[in-house]
Amino acid sequence: MTTAPLDMPRPAAPHAMTQAEPGRLPSLVGLTRAGLGEALLAAGVPEREIRMRVGQLWHWIYFRGATSFEAMTNVGKGLRATLATRYSLARPEVVTEQVSVDGTRKWLMRMPSTGPHDRGAEIEAVYIPESDRGTLCVSSQVGCTLTCTFCHTGTQKLVRNLSAAEIVAQLIVARDRLGDWPGGVRPTDGLVPDAERAVSNIVFMGMGEPLYNFENVRDATEVLSDGEGLSLSRRRITLSTSGVVPMIERAGDEIGSMLAISLHAVRDELRNELVPLNKKYPIADLLDACRNYPGLSNARRITFEYVMLKGVNDSLAEARELVRLLKGIPAKINLIPFNPWPGTRYECSDWDQIEAFSEVVFRAGYASPVRTPRGRDILAACGQLKSETEKLRARARLMLESGIGAEGFFMGASDD
C-alpha cells in the first residue's frame, strides 16, 4: 500500500468526535459503520446483532437526522435506554451563523473540548445556494500548513487534523440548520432553494489541505457517499488540493471523488511564491500526477482553479501558457476573482482582463467559467476562511505567562 510522503506535516493527533469530556457523553454522529459497530459492542450488544443494529443506527443518524435515541422507534426500548446512558447524538456547537445578502451561509463550529482549559477547536464551513444545486464547503484541518500568500486561511497556523467524524458532522450541522432532513423545515428567510435536497454537493475547499489528512478525508467520504444514509454521489464530492503530488494517485484509488487543483500560476518561480508547496512539487510533476489520476476522462475532468491577481498572473501570455500546460488533460478551468481580506497585498484583476483571459482559454476548447464571488460581505468567499482559533492560542500563551495552568487548553496547539 502507498504510504504518506515522509515530509507530510505531522500535527498533533485529533480527538475523535466520540471522545468523552467531563460531563458530556461521546457522540455517535459522524462515525463510520465500523465505528458504530465498536460502540455497540462496548454497549454490550451481542456480536451476532451488530450488523443489524448498525444498519438501524445508520438510518436514523444519516437518513433521518435523529437527535435523540428515543426517536429510533424500531430499536428496542432497552437498547435505546442503554445507548442513551453511554452515548449522545450531539453535533458540534454552532458558535456563529452569518448569512450573506446573496444567501451564502457561514458557520463557525466548535468541536467538543478535551478538558477544563480547552474550549474546543473551531473551524468554518460555508453553504452556497445556487439555482440548480447547493454546495457545502467543508474544512479538513484546523488552520492550514501551506501558507499560500493569497489565502486568508494560510495566515492561520496548522493546529491539527479533523477526525473523519468531525468532517462528516459539518454536513450534519448544515442539514440541521437548513431543514434538509425528511420532514424538515427550511429557514424562513427565503434564501435556501426550494429543492428536494438543500445540500447536493460537497467540496473539500475549506480550511486545510485535504491530502495532508488523507485517512480521515477518505473515511469521511465513505460516510458521506453511503447510499443508505447521506447518499452523496462521489461525482458530487470534490477534493481540492494545492498539489501534494505523492498522494494524488492514492486519492483517485481510495477516495474516488472529483479532483480540483489549486494551480494559480503557470511558472514555477511565481507559483513558488503563491503556493509554497510548489517548491517540493513543481508544476511539471503536478501535471504528470494529474494525467495519471485514476478514472480521469472527459466525463470526470479535473478542475484547475486559478485566482485572478491584478498584475501578478493575469496576462494574456499566461492564459496561453496555461492552455499549453494543460494540453491532453481532460480539464475545466475555474477563474476565481480574488476575494480581498484584511491585510492582503493583492488586488483582484480588472473585470475586462478576466474576460479577456477567459476568452483565450475558451477559444482553446476549455470550459472557463468565472466563479461568481459569493459571501464576500461575511468573509465566506474562496480564500477568506479563518476561524477564531488563533485567539484561543494567544489566550493559552497569556495563561502560561501569567502562571495559570493551561495544559490541554488548546489541543494540539503548537508554535512550530
Angle between helices 214-225 and 164-178 (to 10 degrees): 40
Alpha-carbon span 178 to 184, nearest angstrom: 8
> Active-site residues: which are they?
124, 382
Which residue carries 428515543 as its cell? 70
In the chain, count H helices and then E strands: 11, 11
Q: What backbone torsions phi and psi does residue 136 show, to the nearest 5 degrees?
A: -105, 120
The set of residues, in sequence order, having a beta carbon less than 8 Å from that of 269 and lying 6+ positions away, is none
Instruction: Identify the DSSP state of 15.
Output: P
Q: How far apart are CA 269 and CA 246, in angstroms?
A: 21
Instruction: Please report the beta strands in 72-200, taking only residues with DSSP state E, as ranges in sequence order.
Output: 93-99, 105-110, 122-129, 134-137, 141-142, 160-161
* Three-state secondary structure call for residue 203: strand
